Amino acid sequence: MVRTRLMGPLSWGWVKWPSVMGTGVLYLLLLSTCLGQDTEECKLSRSGPPATIVAIDEESPNGTLLVENMQINGVAEGPDRTISLSLRDNRDYWVILDPSKQALYLNSTGRLLDRDPPSYIQSIVVQVQCTNELIGTVILHEVRIVVRDRNDNAPRFQQPRYYVAVSELTPVGTTIFSGFWGNNGAADIDDGPNGQIEYTIQYNPKDPTANRTFDIPLTLFGSMVLRERLNYEEITRYLVIIQANDRAPYPSERRTATTTLTVDVLDGDDLGPMFLPCTLVGNTRDCSPITYKANVLELTEPNKVNPLNVTPPIQAVDQDRNIQPPSERPGILYSILIGKPQTYAEYFSLNRTTAELLLLRPIDRELYRRFDLVIKAEQNNGHPLPAFANLQIEVLDENNQAPYFLETSYHGYVSEASPVGTTIATSGSLSAPLAIVALDNDVEETKDPQLQFSLDSYSNVFSVSATGIRRYITLLQPLDRETQDFYTFTLLASDGVQQSFPVTVTITVLDANDNTPTFANVSYNVNLFTDMMPGETVLQLSAVDSDAGPNGQVTYRILAGAQEHFIIGNSTGIISVAPGVDLAVGRSYALTVEAMDNGPAPQRRSSITTVYIEVLPPNNQSPPRFPLQQYNLEISEAMRTGATLLNLQAVDRERDTITYKIHSGDPHGHFALKENSGTLVLDKPLDRESLDYYTLVVTASDGQPDGTSTAMVNIMVMDVNDNDPLFISSLTVNLTVTEEQDNAFVGQVKATDPDLGSSGQVHYRLVNHQKLFSINATGAIRTTVPLDREVKGHYFLIVEAWDGSVDPRRSRLTLSVTVLDVDDNIPVFTQQTYNVNLPENSPKDSVILQLKAIDADLDSNLTYRIRSEGLDPEITRLFRVDPGTGELSVLKVLDYEALKDSEPTYMFTVEALDREGTMPPGLASVTVTIIDMNDFPPVFSQSAYRGMVAPNAVKGTIVTTVTANDSDPAGTPAGLVRYKVDQDAYPYSASIFDVDEHTGHVVTRVNLNEEPNLKFNLVVVAYDDGEPLKENTTLVEITVLQPSVIPVFTQEEYRFAPVSEEADVGTPVGVIVAAAVNQTIVYSIIEGNEGGVFALNETTGVISTAKPLDYEANSSYVLRVEANSMRVVSSNLRVPSKTNTAKVMIDIQDENDHPPVFTTSLYIGGVAEDAKTFTSVLQVQALDQDTGNYSSMIYRLIIPPQPGKDTKKSKDGFVIEPYSGVVKTAIMYRNMRRSYFKFEVVATDNYGQGHSTKAEIVVSVVNQLDMQVVVSNVPPTYVEKNKNKLLSILERYVQDQIPGAKVVVETIGPNRHGDGMEQEDYTKSDLMIYAIDPLTNRAVSRQELYKFLDGKLLDINKEFQPFLPPGGRILEIRTPDVVTSVKKAMQTVGYTEGALLALAVIIIICCVPAILIVIITYRQFKERQAECAKTARIQMALPTGKPGGGTANNLYEELGDNAIQTRSNHSGGGNGGSLDEIDRQRLISDFADRAIAAHRQCVANGGVLNKLPKSESNITFLSDENPLTIKNPIYHEDGTLSSPETLGRSQRRRDLLGNFSPSRKGLREAWLRLSSSGGDVGFGGYSGSDSGWGSGGGHSWTLPSRLHRRDMYDAVRRQVVMDPVQWELELLKAEFKESKDAGLDSGFDRGLDSDLMGSPSLEPKLTVKEQARQFEQQALQEMRQRQNRDSRGSLSPDFLLSIFPESPQHLKQTPTHTIPFVLTRDGPPSIIVTQSDGGTPPPSHKPTPPVLRRFGGNLTANPSGDDRLQVHLEIIPDPPSTPPPPPPPMTPPPPPPPASSPPSPTSPPPQHPASPPPLPPPSPHSNQTKKQAPPPPPPPPPPPPPPLPPPSSPSLLRPSTFVLPSLSEVPALRPVSLRPPPPPLPVEPEPQRRELKGILKNIQNIADIEKSVANMFSQIDRKQIPLKKVMKGRASIDSLDSLDLDLLAAEGGGGGEAGSGGGEGGEGGREGTGGGEDPPPPPPPQIRPNTNMNSIVEELEKRFPSQSTML
């Protein structure tokens, strides 16, 4: 613009348009850009459909997020707002918009989002309106909210109750109810599955059988079918609880509702008649068989007795008593079906309809005595089930025979202790009752003659049973034998007309121990003198027991106080001085004496007394004493005078004259006592009746002062029958009795008899008129029948009295009896019943009835009156009887309506009385009925009625109600009020309104459509049906209201949320609301609240609970409520209309308020042993009164752990299905029969979340041995179908025997029959059952179960009939197939089979030992074969060709006899010799092989085994020819075991081994004799003189040691083969160990080292080379000898065992003395004890004779004169476990010294090594010595073998000393490094040797092997571990390696490194120094760790590969 201005006006046009155009273009560009941006606002930023669809659950809470973000472009809030958001179409404002977040929320404040009716909110659609604030455009976004259904509504039944009636004859499977189909069932307003209904039947605790009787198979339709047959006679009504539940996907979320279906069972004609009376059988509905009885007198005319009287009356009724209608009920027809005798139809008939029994003709009893008939009752409609009963007709005889007793007398017994009611017994044992039989010929003998028994006396003590052929006498009162010991009376029998002859009955009373022995005094005082002699009587006690027999026998004893000074006679009661007792002056005693009877132990009685005894000084003038202090006599009163009764003899110590007198007790002088003799005699006759007991006090006097003593004599006078019964004269004899009195008292007589017992018992009887009068035991006379004065008025009776003795005495008395007349007839009315009808309002005093009575007595004066007893006082006010005329009149006018009763009837009794008589009045019954007359019209309660009605009221609306009352009686036609409208009064009103005829409700006849405020008048008539008809009228005024005045409910039907049954009283249920214009509304409940359960607030409309709720009582309520305005209510009116009434539905919500209840507290079941896992055992069931889930159970088991088992590893025996309650097995139960399991089951309702309860379960394990098979003739399907009912019947019969028993079904299947029970018959069935006893929890035995059922088979079949098809029954009860087959198999084994079986058993028993022998022999053979194979392999590994060599005959020779080392121990040395190379190689190979074998066999766990066989009783020593068997010294017969080690003691060894066991000193002096064909070499003991070795050759032999170790101490004793040499070595071991334990080391060692071995100069010292060379030379000589001579030798056991004789003098020598040695030129060879395989048994053939070794050279004497011979025991050791050191260079040994010059003890000769010095004690510096010891020089080469000496003759042999070395001389197996170095030897050039092959490449000489072996064993010994377990019982290898190594080490001392490899340890120690110098004693070797045995063996086998064998 600036520029334009500068250009001027001319340029304005050109400049202006381009600028404007550019600016416009720019603006348009900017505008288009902005418009483009603004058009994106309000659009959705997301892709997809434009509408937003979300889902939400109904009833979601307020504020629920619907849409989180609408995703609309733009900003709706803030300063940069570009859009504005709002909602459109938001109906009911369900959605809230948050513009800032573009979020939508649910708005449900004060309401619920309900998808269900009546809201029906299934979806909500709103529009989100977006306005573009930039450009003003509007975009609508649709949001669709889908409301998802929730299961928030429970199903609701349309009716509170349902009803159906079903006939009991309806077949099973019939649909009986379909009332839930359509709209009549339950409805659920939820959607989908939540609204689908299914129906099920729930358990009803009030009707437990309903759920199993009915079923709903199709749950969606709800049709109920019949599941079990109905029976009206058992159950007439079922209350079936039907549950409706929705089908929500999750069962826990499903909602339920229940209703009750009432099923009434209608009676059907399914049962036949039954006879009455019916006595049910047990708990069944079956009647017990009934028998009707009738009697007919013989020859009686029918017209006199028809119809016959039958007891009870014959009557039958139909069991179906409620068949509807009654007109269809059938009638009953009677008939006689069958009878005996067959001619019964000629005499009797039965009325078809009335069942009257008629007699057709007279019956002769001689022909027929009884008729047994079967009568039948059946329905007249042809029903097939008749009823039957028995009818017994007795033909009675004329009474023309008198009764009679079968016995003439009876004798009975009864104990006096018997209680009242005890039956008299027939014997003294009281075991059987006394039966009295009286018969009547008029009655059959098998029938009760029905006699009457009477007793003439003692009727108050005894009675006779009233009925039965056999009568029994019982006790009426207690008895006392001491008072009366027997009773006698007479018995009469009468049939009412005839009387029997009397019989005598005697009843003896048996004694019972009911009396206690009683002393005369409580205490006694006695003075004694010290000079009383033992045995003298102190006092005699007497206790009296009134009982008889043992009960009265008294036994005495002193309980305390006697101090052993007095004794008492058990039966006499005499207390005397005990023998040997001297009484001391001043002593006093108080004796407690007991008197006890001898009755039965539990019933014994006793009493005590005290005897005080005082000891006085001696009295020389003591009075005479009677032997007894008391004498008892029984004499008869009939005894003659002068008879001697008793001899009383007193004893006087001074022997003075004794005078006897009766001091007192005989006042009448009946007795006399002779003065000098003491004889008591009868002086006068006795009369017991005057005095029956005397107590005489007699004295005995010696004439001195105080010289009198007394005694008591008790005399009992026994009675005799010497008196007649005498009647009392004061009694009257003129008696009277009133007529017509039965058992009337006439009078009483009494007679007395002074005699005692039965002689004094008086009995009475009537001589005449016995049928009219009777007399009892007391003399009372009574009438037996009523007397009639008009027949006879006077009687004379004769009464006789007699006593009860055997010969009774009698007397008679005559009585006069007069019969008095009485008024004995009562007045009798002409009618017994009077009925009269009295109309109401009858005049006063009207006569309504005339009464008339007659009295048969003369001069009777009758009076009539109303009986006052029990009379209503009202009667006397209404009626009156004239006393004289008997006229009945009414006293006042009666008004029927004023009477209280609906049917006024008056009943009373009138009587006619004789005024002067005593008879009761005659009675008659009068009934007066008041008849109503219609005298009252109906009367309305109001004169006018008002009503209000809505203008639009529908037809039938009740406007008001009129009420009229009639004073006439209710229920009568005159009192029945009915209503009607008077049509003529107001015709229009009558056309609109009507009145109900019966209720008086004024209702609308049509739907009204009237104007408001109109009024209608209606006349209502009330009338009755009386005669004449009477009526009354009233006016009803009806007003039509304004519509606005009538309230209107907001809903026609209110349905509130369910109310919990646990809700408190006053809990609000809901609110009803009605509205009206300007009206105050009053609410009321008009229907449905009968129980007052709910309360309605009349102003607020709040319905609340008024009473506690119970879902189980009522699950829902339907109330009808009404709302009226206050104006209407205040007028006491109602205006029912469509709008002001509503229905309120209130459902009760069930709560879990009832715990489950098990059907029983104990469930009993069984399981078979062979039951598979998860087999069903039983089913438990718990019931809950609650419904729905609250009644749904979950079951679980509580099984306690079994004792003694790990609970973590143990498995429960049972499991349970949690929902069904079926208990199943979880394990197998084999071999568990007779055991049981006891555990608990817990039921928890609400699917395990609610209440719980427990029950106990017992499951018993059974098998078919406990079962029985019930075989029936019906198919198994029938049995399976009715299994539970059949089982209950069987169970009931078992429970009759075992209460609570449980019967369990095992299987139901077809009947098995035929051989082996293999065939099946499906027309029959087998029901296998067993029973469990709840007391033992185990199965009832099969036999008992059979007894329980088989004996009741008929009864069981009868009860089974309703459940089985026609003809179905049980055939038998049998045992199961398995049991039967086992029994048959056992029975089929006959004698032959049994014999064969026994033979087979014997053969097997005999073959077992043979088989064992073969096995053992075969094993030994295989072991020997293995040894031979091993030897063969070793030989094959050696070079071939052995010139001059002999082959070993067996393995013993190979490993033992061919491996003999021979040494020359004389000073002269011997000729050295070398073996041929081949023989030498063979010897070396043999040695290595045996070393390896010894190591493997003898070492186990690092220990060497050398124990003796402790379980063998004998040991066999092998010799050349005859084996010697001796007792095993370590075996004991008592079972204890020993060993040579423990038996090595000197004393015990001699006892066990005899002379075969050498002692320590005997070893030094023993003789060794070796004999052979060539000569004998004798080794003699020291004899005290110079002697030497005899010349000649000697032979020695050895066997391998076979010392078997046995740890099985209880093994069978058998002989054991044992090497005698090994045995001696074992004894040596024991001896040395003994010496060590006893502390004799010094003496013993010194004795053996010094004395036995001699000085060091006497012992030749050989190096290892020399010893090996000697070994080779000796072996070569032996092989050559075996080729040139017979190898058989003779070395007997006696010779072997006599080598070491032992004598007592040997034991006395000191162990330290020295015996000089006598050295010869050629000594005997060393004895080699080899170790062989312990597993190698002795050879089965005779052992190969040992090879005799010949020892050459003559035995020359020693210059010292001592003959000495040193025998070395060498042990070939096992191979070492460590590699041996490299072999030193071989150097030849020096030549042996001559025999004549033994080396000096101090300086050893240079030509040969010196003997070792005695072993010094160990030094602590030995370790340093060993460390500083130089390496050993090379050993010299072996010397050449010496020449064989010639055979020595027997003459050259003489005894010489043989000394075994000390055990320290035995090789101590130590490493070479621990041995002392040998002395330096001259080095000689080694001769040319042949190249060695195989194993010999690495071994240069035998010394190297020996060193390696010794080194190995030293390592083993250091690491040796004691054995803990025997590897094999048979493997035993013994060697000397098991000796006490510590002892060996102590004895062997140290050793140089170059010590003797083959020599002993001690020897090596002595060889450790050269030139005779004694080196310091080396310390014992240190035990160093070494490698294990395997490595050692492997190393050894590497060095000797060709000899390796399998470990």
Give the pLDDT mean for 98-115. 90
1911, exposed or middle or buried, with CB in 10 Å at 0-12, 13-18, 19+? buried
Phi-psi label, residue 1529: left if phi above 0, alpha if psi -120 to 50, beta otherwise: alpha
Q: Given pLDDT bands bounded at 50, 70 and 90, which one contains residue 973?
A: confident
Is pLDDT at 6 greater than 80 in this prediction? no
Angle at 905 between CA 903 and CA 907, to 5 degrees: 155
Within 8 A by CB and 6+ apart from 806, the residues are none
Q: Which pLDDT belongs to residue 1819?
A: 40
- pLDDT the model gives residue 1974: 45
Which amino acid does the sequence have at 1445? G
Find the range with the poorest average confidence among 457-471, 756-770, 1259-1273, 1667-1681: 1667-1681
Question: In whole angstroms, what is the distance from residue 1370 CA to residue 1355 CA?
Answer: 11
Q: Residue 1408 has what DSSP assignment?
A: H
What are the φ and ψ backbone dihedral angles of 807, each rounded to 5 degrees?
-110, 85
0.85 exceeded by pTM: no
* CA pair distance 1245, 1183, nearest whole angstrom: 9
Q: In which element (H, E) is residue 1942 found?
A: helix 1941-1948
Tokens found for residue 396: 């009675």
Instruction: Collect all residues with Cβ–Cβ distance below 8 Å to 1401 and sequence separation of at least 6.
Output: none
pLDDT digits (tens, 9 = 90+) for 1726-1765: 333 343 334 444 444 434 344 333 334 443 344 444 444 4
- pLDDT tens-digit series, residues 922-971: 899 999 988 877 888 899 998 899 888 888 888 888 889 999 998 877 77
Phi, psi dihedrals of residue 12, rounded to the nearest 5°: -65, -40
SS (H, E, C) 73-126: CCCCCCCCCCEEEEEECCHHHCEEEECCCCEEEECCCCCCCCCCCCCCCCEEEE
Please report the pLDDT score of residue 1035 as a whole number.
Answer: 93
The mean pLDDT of 1935-1939, rounded to a whole number, is 38
Sorted by sequence, the CB contacts under 8 Å of residue 1998 that are 6+ apart come out as: 1779
Structure confidence at residue 1790 as a pLDDT band (50, 70, 90): very low
Could you read off the pLDDT of 389-419 as tens digits, one per residue? Answer: 999 999 887 776 788 998 989 999 999 999 9
Identify the CA nearest to 851 among candidates 826, 827, 878: 827
Cβ partners under 8 Å of residue 375, min gap 6: 292, 314, 334, 335, 336, 337, 350, 355, 388, 389, 390, 391
pLDDT tens by residue, 1594-1633: 333 333 433 444 444 443 343 444 455 566 676 676 666 6
**For 426-440, 798-812, 1437-1451, which range has the lowest pLDDT when averaged over its residues?**
1437-1451
* CB-count exposure of residue 436 (10 Å: 0-12, 13-18, 19+): buried
CB 1069 within 8 A of CB 1059: yes
pLDDT attached to residue 1973? 41
928 in helix, strand or coil? strand
d(CA 913, CA 865) in angstroms, rounded, equals 8
1429-1443 per-position pLDDT tens digit: 766 666 555 544 434
Spatial strand order in the sheet of 1252-1262: 1162-1168, 1252-1262, 1236-1244, 1194-1198
Task: Please tell me the predicted confidence (pLDDT) of residue 1914.
Answer: 55
Query: Sorting pLDDT into bands at 50, 70 and 90, what band is 1494?
Result: low
- Can you tell me the mean pLDDT for 1150-1172? 92
pLDDT of residue 131: 93
**Radius of gyration of the CA atoms of the chain, in A:** 68
3-state SS class at 1737: coil
Residues 1301-1326: tens digit of each pLDDT: 999 999 999 998 887 777 888 889 99
Query: What pLDDT score was predicted for residue 25?
Result: 47
What's the pLDDT tens digit per position in 279-308?
888 777 788 889 999 999 888 889 888 999
Q: Residues 324-342: what's their mean pLDDT?
A: 87
CA gap 97, 78 in Å, rounded: 16
More confident residue, 545 or 1421: 545
Question: What would the two tokens of residue 843 be?
Answer: 């005049």
Instruction: Name the 3-class secondary structure at 1897.
Output: helix
Residue 1822 pLDDT greater than 50, yes or no: no
Give the C-alpha separation, 561 to 149, whole Å. Answer: 108
* Lowest-confidence segment of 334-343, 439-448, 1674-1683 by average pLDDT: 1674-1683
Give the per-residue pLDDT at 672.
Answer: 93
Average pLDDT, the chain: 75
Q: To which residue do tokens 């009252």 refer?
A: 936
